[in-house]
């Protein structure tokens, strides 16, 4: 039987509450809850016997939290976005400490399927220059980063496949760029659309989250899979392992 998770839950907004609910449904426990940022997370993990940290906070808090947890040797599932300009620093710290980090911009299985479909579509559209490509993301008003980390991941998948596109830009497009349009509306967990448009037709790939439960299930399953591993992992690693 797999080891039960004793989770230090960092970030207790709507996503944190969904993670708490799913964790308990799957037989795990919440060792302690931290609202956003704490100076010594390692001390808290030891005091409450946590064997995993799940971090869903803000771009401002995430890097500090990750550094504190890495130094304490705590495996981490991180879903915070907007901090990836510090990725190299965090990656180096993980390697130096023989640590464990699972990071994804989106933990929904459905969204990760859309990542795969977007990559395939981009590979085909590379040979059809009459198609323009753009991305639209819609989220709740409380979301702080813009564009979403998920939209950036979609853009990166496309940039890898479409040679005529060199970068993504926010709310403006051009021949060599992918436009990401960011919209904020009340009570939207997350909707992402990739559009391939020509003069004769438009193809839309859309993922619409109906609630945060799908993200929470993915985060908990990532934590279950992560225990006992060392290194940096993603949803691609988890899904590939499940397909073996």
Residues of CATH 3.40.50.720 domain(s) within the chain?
A: 6-107+212-242
pLDDT of amino acid 201: 98
Is 165 designated active site? no
Given a cut of 80, is residue 75 above it in pLDDT? Answer: yes
Annotated active-site residue 28? The verdict is no
* Active-site annotation holder among 4, 64, 139, 144: 139
- Within the chain, all domains assigned CATH 3.30.360.10 are found at 109-208
- For residue 193, what pLDDT band results from cuts at 50, 70 and 90? very high
Q: Is the pLDDT of residue 1 over 50?
A: no
Three-state secondary structure readout of the chain: CCCCCEEEEECCCHHHHHHHHHHHHCCCEEEEEECCCCCCHHHHHHHHCCCEEEECCCHHHHHHHHHHHHHHCCCEEECCCCCHHHHHHHHHHHHHCCCEEEECCCCCHHHHHHHHHHHHHHHHHCCCCCCEEEEEEEECCCCCCCCCHHHHHHHHHHHHHCCCCCEEEECCCECCEEEEEEEECCCCCCEEEEEEECCCCEEEEEEECCCCHHHHHHHHHHHHHHCCCCEEECHHHHHHHHCC
- Phi and psi at residue 149, to the nearest 5°: -60, -35
CATH 3.30.360.10 for domain 109-208: yes
pLDDT at position 60, please?
A: 85
Q: What are the tens digits of pLDDT across the range 38-72?
A: 678 888 888 999 999 999 998 889 999 999 999 99
pTM of the model: 0.82
- List the CATH code of the domain at 6-107+212-242: 3.40.50.720
- CA neighbours closer than 13 Å in the CB half-sphere of residue 166: 3
Burial 21-38 (b: 16+ CB within 10 A, else e): ebbeeeebebbbebebbb
Give me the phi and psi of 224, to 5 degrees please.
-60, -40
Of 143, 157, 192, 207, the active-site residue reads: 143
């Amino acid at each position: 039987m797999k080891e039960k998770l004793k989770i230090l839950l960092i970030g207790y907004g709507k996503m944190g509450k969904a993670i708490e609910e799913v964790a308990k449904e799957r037989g795990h426990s919440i060792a302690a809850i931290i609202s956003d940022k704490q100076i010594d997370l390692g001390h808290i993990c030891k005091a409450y016997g946590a064997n995993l940290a799940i971090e869903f906070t803000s771009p401002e808090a995430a890097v500090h939290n990750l550094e504190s947890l890495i130094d304490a040797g705590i495996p981490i599932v991180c879903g915070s976005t907007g901090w990836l300009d510090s990725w190299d620093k965090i990656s180096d710290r993980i390697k130096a400490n023989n640590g464990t980090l699972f990071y994804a911009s989106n933990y929904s299985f459905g969204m990760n399927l859309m990542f795969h479909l977007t990559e395939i579509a981009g590979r085909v559209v590379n040979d059809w220059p009459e198609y323009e490509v753009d991305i639209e993301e819609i989220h709740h008003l409380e979301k702080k980063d813009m564009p979403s980390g998920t939209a950036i991941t979609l853009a990166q998948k496309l940039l890898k496949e479409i040679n005529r596109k060199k970068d993504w830009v926010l709310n403006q497009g051009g021949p060599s760029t992918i436009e990401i349009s960011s919209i904020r509306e009340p009570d939207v967990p997350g909707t992402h659309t990739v559009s391939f448009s020509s003069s004769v037709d438009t193809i839309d790939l859309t993922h619409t989250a109906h609630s945060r439960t799908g993200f929470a299930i993915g985060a908990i399953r990532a934590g279950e899979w992560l225990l006992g591993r060392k290194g940096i992992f993603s949803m691609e690693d988890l899904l590939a392992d499940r397909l073996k």
